[in-house]
Amino acid sequence: MDYVASFFDSRSSSWSYASLRNFNKLSSPVQSHLQKVYLTLAAALLVSALGVYVHILWHIGGLITSFGFIATTAWLVSTPSTPAEEGKRLKLLAAAAFFEGASVGTLVEAVLQFDPSIVVMAFLGSVAVFACFSGAALVARRREYLFLGGILSSVVSLMLLLQFSSLIFGRSAFMYNVEIFGGLLVFMGYVLFDTQMIIERANRGDYNYVKHALDLFVDFAAIFVRLLVIMTKNSSQRERRDQERRKRRSY
């Protein structure tokens, strides 16, 4: 019991209001780097929203944009992080964000036809989740969450194996829930892990803010998609139950 009490005491002290405002443990270059990362992430999200809008207008999203996202992401990762290549890397990030937005636009368009408020709630929920987990990584002790890397990689590998088996044996409702809810938890963990990895790399002199913004963008997009699916599914189930109640009352 003493160990349990000491654990929660340490958690509560690390989550005080003062600790949330205290970033003095981060050096000035790291703080400046993080500002660049989050500003670049915000710009990428705006470009991705433009991709969603363009898809709704002209229905460009699909397999081609998905391959476009993979290709531009691979190109960006392989581009050297030098000042001479900075403009090129920013353009590749913008292209990747646009392609991802157009791909997600197929889902967003369907949800908008069902209930537009779900899209807003899913986006705000994604912002809240991302801010909480990224903030937790910023105020935590250095390298505290880096152990998650191996665990998350193993879980992702297991989920890919389950997806492959579902192609052979068919996808059940259980498998669907594992992919959606399990994937949501995994990418929440990746927000913690990637944020601390960005800090650790910056402490070692790696200031590739474009690549780091891409890592966080992928996490955010994955969380948004899963929250959108979960909220749409829950809303659909509530509407179905309401219709059944109205039918029973009419009889």
List, as one string, the DSSP characters of 135-192.
HHHHHSPTTTTTTHHHHHHHHHHHHHHHHHHHHHH---HHHHHIIIIIHHHHHHHHHH
* Mean pLDDT of the residues in the chain: 88
pLDDT given at position 220: 98
Q: Which pLDDT belongs to residue 7?
A: 32
Q: Residue 251 has what pLDDT?
A: 65
The pLDDT of residue 221 is above 50: yes
DSSP 62: S
Q: Does residue 138 surpass a pLDDT of 70?
A: yes
Answer whether residue 158 shows pLDDT above 70: yes
How far apart CA 168 and CA 173 sit, in angstroms, is 15
Please give the pLDDT value at position 68. Answer: 98
Does 21 score more than 60 pLDDT?
no
pLDDT tier for residue 243 given thresholds of 50, 70 and 90 = confident
pLDDT tens per residue across span 174-196: 788 888 999 999 999 999 999 99
Q: What pLDDT, on the 0 to 100 scale, is given for residue 164?
A: 82
Q: Report angle CA 98, 104, 110 to the nearest 5 degrees.
A: 135
* 233: DSSP letter: H
pLDDT at 10 over 50: no
Q: What is the pLDDT of residue 73?
A: 98
Is the confidence at residue 91, as pLDDT, over 60?
A: yes
Nearest-angstrom CA–CA distance, 42 and 109: 22
Structure tokens given for 234: 């829950």
**Stretch 131-157: mean pLDDT:** 91
Measured CA to CA, the distance from residue 211 to residue 37 in angstroms comes to 9
Closest CA to 195 of 245, 148, 234: 148
Q: Identify the pLDDT of residue 9.
A: 40
Q: Is 81 left (phi over 0), alpha (psi -120 to 50) or beta?
A: beta
By CB neighbour count within 10 A (0-12 exposed, 13-18 middle, 19+ buried), where does 145 fall? buried
**Over the stretch 24-35, which tens digit does the pLDDT of each residue have?**
578 999 999 999
- Of residues 208 and 8, the one with the higher pLDDT is 208
Q: Which two tokens stand for residue 72?
A: 């531009």
Regarding predicted confidence, which is higher, 2 or 244? 244
2 confidence band (pLDDT: 50, 70, 90): very low
Tell me the Cα Rg of the chain.
21
